[in-house]
Chain A
Amino acid sequence: SDEEVVDPKATMEVTCKPKCVRQLKDYQACTRRIEGDESGSKHCTGQYFDYWQCIDKCVAPKLFEKLK
């Protein structure tokens, strides 16, 4: 079988990144904000979810075209 098989979902998530730059920037800003926090109560789940929701919305309609 083909050794070079590449997961289409992973590649599509990469190609969809430009559409979700705003959410990615928000997440990265959050990451920087909570850096060095020792209390353990700060987290960036919200921005993370926003980013991945954007990626998912971009990937989902077209993913199955790449699959058998």
Chain B
Amino acid sequence: MVTVQYSNDYKDDKNEALHTQYIFRTDVPHGGPAFHAASTGTSAHTPHKWEPGYPAAFGFGKINRFIKRGAGQRNDSKVPRRNDALKHGLNGFGSAGSKSFRALAVFGAGVSGLLSFATIAYSDEAEHGLECPSYPWPHEGILSSYDHASIRRGHQVYQQVCASCHSMSLISYRDLVGVAYTEEETKAMAAEIEVVDGPNDEGEMFTRPGKLSDRFPQPYSNEAAARFANGGAYPPDLSLITKARHNGQNYVFALLTGYRDPPAGVSIREGLHYNPYFPGGAIAMPKMLNDGAVEYEDGTPATEAQMGKDVVSFLSWAAEPEMEERKLMGFKWIFVLSLALLQAAYYRRLRWSIYKSRKLVLDVVN
């Protein structure tokens, strides 16, 4: 932003033309000491006609500027008044404009807030389900990894409690290697299932024991069969469930451990069960996590809450297996980019410094 710091009138050498020099500075923002110290050469600060280094080299203007800033407003006759009015006029318009815009924005926000309030008040809470609380998951920190022992237990819970109805068709046995089980353990687990493969050389499909490359087995052959077996409700695939539901990890844990008696006045039809966290309150799935339903390999007491925590850890891993690598990468690159930002800022200011401290002299013959 260029701002005239001061002007200087002088007669030229032949004492004929009146020159006016307008000295522009680029290092002062809009609203800097513009024209306050404008003078017609009568002030003691501006160099006189006979002084060396005049007219353009107001290098010692640094001290001048300092003094002029301290000197405060100096309204001189012709030009300063005009420019001041112009500056204040522009300022005035700017501030009035921004003030009214701000007022309009605040009013708009208030109106929309009021409207949204009204709509929430009229809807039924059960429609959205009870808001689930936030649990302190061990893997939720910016540099926290999964609890892999919990993933292992959670897989056991899934396999023994959930897999009879819920598929996880995007997860393969090999994904578990190095995460929850060793390769041998996983191979043995995979070999327990029968997989349809083929066609063979005779053109027939055959069954074989599972391998690491096989996906997790599906309980039903298709969605229609799943619905038929579950009273019309489809048990969703759990591969991505913690990402597919709002606040997924907390929601799934709250849901699994939240089966309670319905409130007074609410009755659930036969075949459905009450769960306050489920939107609408009536869920087809019965309570599946009961104390002691699973016997953990590592001897952990299998309470409802423990099983819930473990299975949600497992489901979180299944939905986001890349999480640990992602967090490491994120930390590393945010650090690197911060350094790069500092370097870029320094370099930009270095290169711009010449333009920001420029002084332009406009020598006008009146």
Contacts and interface: CB of A to CB of B under 8 A. Distances in A.
B265 interface: yes
Interface of B: 124-126, 130-138, 149-150, 254, 257, 260, 263-267, 276, 281, 291-292, 295, 299-306, 309
4 nearest CB pairs, A to B: A43-B265, A48-B263, A60-B133, A9-B305
A5 B292 contact: yes
A64 B138 contact: yes
9 contacts: A7-B303, A7-B305, A40-B267, A43-B265, A43-B266, A56-B130, A57-B133, A67-B309, A68-B149
Given A43-B264, A48-B263, A56-B132, A1 B276 contact: no
A44 interface: yes
A56 B264 contact: no
Interface of A: 1-2, 5-10, 27, 30-31, 34-35, 37, 40, 42-49, 52-53, 56-57, 59-61, 63-64, 66-68
A68 B300 contact: yes
A45 B266 contact: yes
A10 B304 CA distance: 9
Contacts of B260: 52
B303 A59 contact: no
Given A37-B265, A53-B133, 19 more contacts: A1-B292, A5-B291, A8-B303, A8-B305, A8-B306, A9-B303, A27-B264, A43-B264, A45-B125, A46-B125, A48-B276, A49-B276, A52-B260, A56-B130, A56-B254, A59-B133, A60-B133, A67-B309, A68-B149
B145 to A, nearest CB: 16
Nearest to A39: B265
A1 B299 contact: yes
Contacts of B135: 60, 63-64
A57 B134 CA distance: 8
B292 A64 contact: no
A35 B265 CA distance: 8
A10 B305 CA distance: 9
Contact of B303 (A5, A37, A47, A57): A5
A27 B262 CA distance: 12
Given A49-B125, A67-B309, A27 B303 contact: no
Contacts of A59: 133
Contacts of A48: 263-264, 276
Contacts of B257: 9
Given A9-B257, A31-B264, A56-B254, A49 B130 contact: yes
Nearest to B276: A52
A48 to B, nearest CB: 4
B126 A56 contact: no
Contacts of B136: 60-61, 64
Q: Which of B131, B291, B300, B306 has the most CB of A within 10 A?
A: B306
A52 B126 CA distance: 13
A28 B297 CA distance: 44
A53 B131 contact: yes
Given A34-B265, A47-B263, A53-B130, A68 B306 contact: yes
A48 B134 CA distance: 19
B300 to A, nearest CB: 5
Contacts of B149: 68
A52 B130 contact: yes
A65 B243 CA distance: 25
A44 B266 CA distance: 8
B306 A67 contact: yes
A49 B274 CA distance: 13
Contact of A9 (B138, B266, B304): B304
B90 to A, nearest CB: 54
A34 B301 CA distance: 42
A60 B134 contact: yes
Contact of B305 (A43, A45, A53, A63): A63
A53 B134 CA distance: 11
A9 B265 CA distance: 26
Contacts of A64: 135-138, 309
